[in-house]
Amino acid sequence: MKPSGNILFCGVGGQGILLASEITAFALLECGLDAKKSEVHGMAQRGGSVVAHLRYGKKVYSPLIDPGQADYLVAFETMEAVRYLPFLHQGSKVIVNTHQIPPPAVATGKMVYPADLLSRLTSLNISVYPLDGFSIAKQVGEIRTANLVLVGALSTFLPVEEELFLEVLKKRIPRKIEENIAAFREGRKITA
Amino acid sequence: MTKVSSKNKQWLSGNEAIARAAWEAGVTVASGYPGTPSTEILENLCTYKDVYAEWAPNEKVALEVGLGASFAGARVLVTMKHVGLNVAADPLFTASYTGVRGGIVIITADDPEMHSSQNEQDNRHYAYAAKLPMLEPSDPAEAMEMLKQAFAISEEFDTPVLFRTTTRVAHVKGMVAIGKRKKGQVPVAIEKMPAKFVMLPGNARMRRRSIAERMGKLASFVETFAANRIDKGDKKLGFITGGVSYLYVKEAFPKAAVLKIATTWPLPFKLIRDFAAQVDEVVVVEELDPFLETHIKAAGIACTGKDKIPAMGELNPFIIKKALGQETGEIFAPVDIPPRPPNMCPGCPHRGLFYNLAKYDVFIAGDIGCYTLGFLPPLSAMDSCVCMGASIGVAHGMDKALGEAARGKTVAVIGDSTFIHSGITGLINMVYNKSMSTVIILDNRITAMTGHQANPASGSTIMGEPANAIDLTELCRAIGVRHVRTVNPHDIKECKKVLTEEIDRPEPSVIISLAPCVLLPEERKRPKMPLTTLVDNCTGCGTCVHLGCPAISWMPLTPAEAKKLGKKEKQKGYARISMEMCNGCGQCLAVCKFKAIGKAEEKK
Ligand SMILES: Cc1ncc(C[n+]2csc(CCOP(=O)(O)OP(=O)(O)O)c2C)c(N)n1
Ligand code: SF4
Ligand code: SF4
């Protein structure tokens, strides 16, 4: 039987979520799997909460992941990981960038950024893999590779060989390929 | 094996597939107006060889351009979002009478759930009302196949064809089989056919009969059209569905019998009747209105649908299962966390204008674009928003209702693209009928909200070629506005002065708030001089925080922390600017009264 799964990518508009989900989709397709991805463009891209659904398997019908059906959540921002909790199930794996971006109500002092957010997930039997994408990206020498750290961390769970993933990166990433691969490898270390 | 690199298959979004299909179908002319989720179709199509594509000033013009090209024999694609078809409805209803020469397909991209729209109207009703065929694909692969068929139908049946997508078709990616370009069959030439193209009553009455004939022929055609098909399965519950809902049904009830409808109009009633006879019970699953259900019931075929399936918002397999009483399992409850609505970018020129405008005791009739976000706190500077262009009519109507008391009380704010789309006629009305209102044109040189498309005031075409840029000042003067002022919205003080003068003026006036969108390629390249807060000087007055710039954050302080920073214990916090995010627009610098904001070092 061919493997199947549902990956939800979430974060804040402008964080590079579309590229991360695109690369993951390519890697899965290269394995001979069917895949569908659903994105939302337009209004939400102005700094709002953004989500992309990626589903793979032998044959994919619905482009949307149902509530309670996301096997993996790749969150580019901490609070956003918690926003999509209703999509998760016991046993979901959550890769979360510990970076925090205050939403308008927090930035203007009307609300506070909740503390202890990730314990909400772990207390529900969800495995959480926090990582500081920006520090790692800085270490590898290119601040814009934080999304590849997240993809790297996700990749160890997917039915894709590391070599194949690297081939996809080389083909699909236009610039700074060395740094992107380094970021991807650092990400893998976190979940390996 | 479905490899991404495979030669005859590509990983495409619904919109990319539609563009590719149009090219393969031999389209040579395409016109449209941007609108989510339709925009990427023309943005892709214009990159193909041998296709002329353009952004029209609005959807009505786009469709008229499409008709002209079709009359000349070209195959034509016209694209718009669902509400755009309201604007194009006038030519649409009569195009049904004229019919076509070259095939013409009109894309209506609907937005159930209103991800990026002001309403979630169901444009399937247009097909019925205008007596036009409508096709609906379920995913990008089908969009590719069906769009090509739509062109064949258009020419064979002498009719424009409506092609409806929704957000979950347009912005879904999947593997799509690609092919070669074919040429249109109709010779491109001027061929005068007045009985067909001149819709005076005499001719129109004749054409009205042609419509009836055509729809009759189409009604038999759709019965055997292969894309209307039955997936055999368990006969207890039979589903009738179309568009993306088909995929949700397959996911939720993989074993059930399903009749998939590709031709939303006209419907294959014989096929539906046969299917209904084969199953114990028929459930119609469709997003938004009970369109299929109503027409199926009207044909005397028993079915259910909207008594269980929601008529609002998007569907998904989960909602369908739940509606039909299937087990769905426990779902984790959402956590109560602060919302994250969209916001204008750091350094957005609109912000400076709204910061000022929020301080006046006026009714701010708003419009649609990035600037609609000025409605959100902390600016909260918009009091109405209806449809593109409405701001000007609304402000004038309010002005007339208030009568004597109207002076200095009404303002319309409208973007450059929106003004050209449908604001100009409103302004003509204001002058003609002696308004006291003020119109503010937020001219950021581009159609930003939908992803930065050039418009007739931008000075370039969809291909990036140089083009005339409308002089908005001259245009307003020609309309008869005597006071047309241009301000730099980043210059907070000057902006305030001009606003005060013009809002109070007992005649219509126009303020052009002119500064480019910071996301334009030229602007992105410009070296940025980010600002920073000088924490020592910051008194925590909160003035700059009120700009609502995403780069500025309020940092709360406890009395002890305040003391440690050498501040009064009662100071509740201070402002902090994120150097990574700051665009150096200078608006916060201009509003700070305590010299607490200064230049940080240059950022590349
Ligand atoms: C009839 C119609 N067509 C298209 C749209 C989609 N749409 C929303 S805002 C907008 C244009 C905004 O451009 P502009 O007025 O220049 O404002 P900006 O976003 O640049 O601030 C468009 C095309 C719509 N809402 N209604
Ligand atoms: S895209 Fe441009 S117009 Fe829109 S919010 Fe950002 S800066 Fe302002
Ligand atoms: S200068 Fe001030 S208002 Fe402008 S982008 Fe920077 S922080 Fe925001």
CATH of residue A99's domain is 3.40.920.10
CA of residue B518 to ligand 2 center, whole Å: 6
Q: Give yes or no for residue B210 having a pLDDT over 80.
A: yes
Q: How far apart are CA B153 and CA B105, in angstroms?
A: 10
Alpha helices, DSSP H only, in A69-158?
Answer: 78-83, 104-107, 119-122, 133-139, 146-155
Q: Give yes or no for residue B268 having a pLDDT over 80.
A: yes
Q: Which domain holds residue A43?
A: 5-133+162-173
Residue (of A102, A169, A97, A101) closest to A134 by Cα position:
A97
The position carrying tokens 């022929």 is: B217
- Span B325-338, pLDDT tens digits: 999 989 999 999 99
Half-sphere exposure of B550 (CA within 13 A, CB side): 24
pLDDT band at B230 (very low <50, low <70, confident <90, very high): very high
pLDDT band at B603 (very low <50, low <70, confident <90, very high): very low
- Span B358-401, pLDDT tens digits: 999 999 999 999 999 999 999 999 999 999 999 999 999 999 99
Radius of gyration of chain A (CA): 16
Residue (of B59, B53, B43, B45) closest to B420 by Cα position:
B59
Q: In which element (H, E) is residue B393 found? A: helix B390-402
Q: Give yes or no for residue B1 having a pLDDT over 60.
A: no
Q: Which of the residues B6, B169, B326, B332 would you substitute to probe the A interface, choosing the one with the greatest number of A C-beta atoms within 10 Å?
A: B332
pLDDT band at B600 (very low <50, low <70, confident <90, very high): confident
Please answer whether residues B92 and B79 qualify as being in contact, where contact means their C-beta atoms are separated by less than 8 angstroms: no
Radius of gyration of chain B (CA): 28
**A63·B334 Cβ contact <8 A:** no
Please answer whether residues B498 and B511 qualify as being in contact, where contact means their C-beta atoms are separated by less than 8 angstroms: yes
Question: Is the C-alpha dihedral spanning B269, B270, B275, B279 positive or negative?
Answer: positive
State the pLDDT at residue A13: 87
Q: B335 contacts in A (CB within 8 Å)?
A: 82-83, 85, 117, 120
Q: How far is CA A179 from the centre of its chain?
A: 19
Q: Which of B3, B335, B451 lies closest to A30 in CB terms? A: B3
Residue (of A88, A68, A83) closest to B321 by Cα position:
A68
Question: Is the C-alpha dihedral spanning B467, B472, B476, B482 positive or negative?
Answer: negative
Residue B590 beta carbon below 6 angstroms from any ligand 3 atom: no
What is the dihedral angle through the alpha carbons of B56, B60, B64, B70, rounded to the nearest 10 degrees? 80
Residue range B344-351: mean pLDDT, rounded: 97
Residue range B137-142: mean pLDDT, rounded: 98
Q: How far apart are CA B453 and CA B465, in angstroms?
A: 13
In a domain, A156, yes or no: no
Nearest protein Cα to ligand 1, atom 9: B369
Query: Residue B583: nearest ligand to its CA?
Result: 3
State the pLDDT at residue B604: 39
**Domains along chain B with CATH numbers:** 9-224 (3.40.50.970), 229-323 (3.40.50.920), 349-524 (3.40.50.970), 527-602 (3.30.70.20)
Q: A41 contacts in B (CB within 8 Å)?
A: 36-37, 39-40, 116, 171, 451
Residue range B438-448: mean pLDDT, rounded: 98
Q: Which of B5, B248, B377 lies closest to A62 in CB terms? A: B248
Q: How far apart are CA B140 and CA B177, in angstroms?
A: 10
B1 or B290: which carries more pLDDT confidence? B290
Residue range A56-60: mean pLDDT, rounded: 97
State the pLDDT at residue B4: 60
In a domain, A39, yes or no: yes
Half-sphere exposure of B263 (CA within 13 A, CB side): 26
Residue range A71-97: mean pLDDT, rounded: 97
Residue (of B122, B206, B167, B227) closest to B15 by Cα position:
B167
Backbone angles phi, psi at B367, to 5 degrees: -140, -165
B574 torsion bin: left (phi>0), alpha (psi -120 to 50), beta (else): beta
CB atoms within 10 A of CB B220: 12
Residue range B484-505: mean pLDDT, rounded: 98
Could you tell me which residues come within 8 angstroms of residue B32 by beta carbon, excluding any fewer than 6 positions away? B38, B41, B42, B55, B56, B59, B62, B77, B78, B79, B80, B107
| Token pair belonging to B174 | 């999947």
Residue B144 beta carbon below 6 angstroms from any ligand 1 atom: no
CB atoms within 10 A of CB B460: 15
State the pLDDT at residue B7: 75
Report chain B's mean pLDDT, rounded to a whole number.
Answer: 96
Q: Give yes or no for residue B297 having a pLDDT over 60.
A: yes
Burial B57-84 (b: 16+ CB within 10 A, else e): bbbbbbbbbbbebbbbbbbbbbbbbbbb
- DSSP bridge pairs for A73: A8, A94
Q: How far apart are CA B395 and CA B382, in angstroms?
A: 12
Residue range B411-436: mean pLDDT, rounded: 98
**B173·A37 Cβ contact <8 A:** yes
State the pLDDT at residue B2: 45
In a domain, A64, yes or no: yes
Backbone angles phi, psi at B591, to 5 degrees: -90, -15
Q: Return residues 111-170 of B near A (CB < 8 Å).
A: 115-116, 139, 167-168
- DSSP bridge pairs for B574: B555
In a domain, A42, yes or no: yes
In a domain, A86, yes or no: yes
The number of folded domains in chain A is 1
**pLDDT over 70, % of chain B:** 98
Q: How far apart are CA A87 and CA A120, in angstroms?
A: 14
**A106·B338 Cβ contact <8 A:** yes
**pLDDT over 90, % of chain B:** 97
- DSSP bridge pairs for A129: A95
In a domain, A70, yes or no: yes
Residue (of B254, B272, B255, B250) closest to B263 by Cα position:
B272
Q: Give yes or no for residue A189 having a pLDDT over 60.
A: yes
Could you tell me which residues come within 8 angstroms of residue B294 by beta carbon, excluding any fewer than 6 positions away? none
Residue range B268-276: mean pLDDT, rounded: 98
Residue range B398-418: mean pLDDT, rounded: 97
Query: Residue B60: nearest ligand to its CA?
Result: 1
SS3 annotation, B117-142: CCCCCCCHHHHHHHCCCEECCCCHHH
Please answer whether residues B4 and A30 qualify as being in contact, where contact means their C-beta atoms are separated by less than 8 angstroms: yes
Counting atoms of ligand 2 from 1, which one is nearest the CA of B370? Answer: 4
Residue range A101-122: mean pLDDT, rounded: 94
State the pLDDT at residue B5: 56
DSSP B420: I
Whole-angstrom CA distances from B536 to B37, B402, B500, B563, B594 are: 48, 49, 34, 12, 10
- Span A8-53, pLDDT tens digits: 999 998 888 999 999 999 999 999 999 999 998 777 678 899 999 9
Q: Return residues 181-210 of B near A (CB < 8 Å).
A: none
The position carrying tokens 């199926």 is: B296
Nearest protein Cα to ligand 1, atom 20: B448
Whole-angstrom CA distances from A62 to A87, A120, B247 are: 15, 29, 5
B4 or B31: which carries more pLDDT confidence? B31
- Span A166-187, pLDDT tens digits: 999 999 998 999 999 999 999 9
| Token pair belonging to B478 | 């020609």
- Span B537-586, pLDDT tens digits: 999 999 999 999 999 999 999 999 999 999 999 999 999 999 989 999 99
Could you tell me which residues come within 8 angstroms of residue B367 by beta carbon, excluding any fewer than 6 positions away? B385, B388, B389, B390, B391, B412, B413, B414, B415, B418, B423
DSSP B457: T
**Pairing state between β A5-12 and B75-81:** unpaired
State the pLDDT at residue B3: 54
CA angle B64/B70/B73 to nearest 5° reads 155
| Token pair belonging to B70 | 């079709």
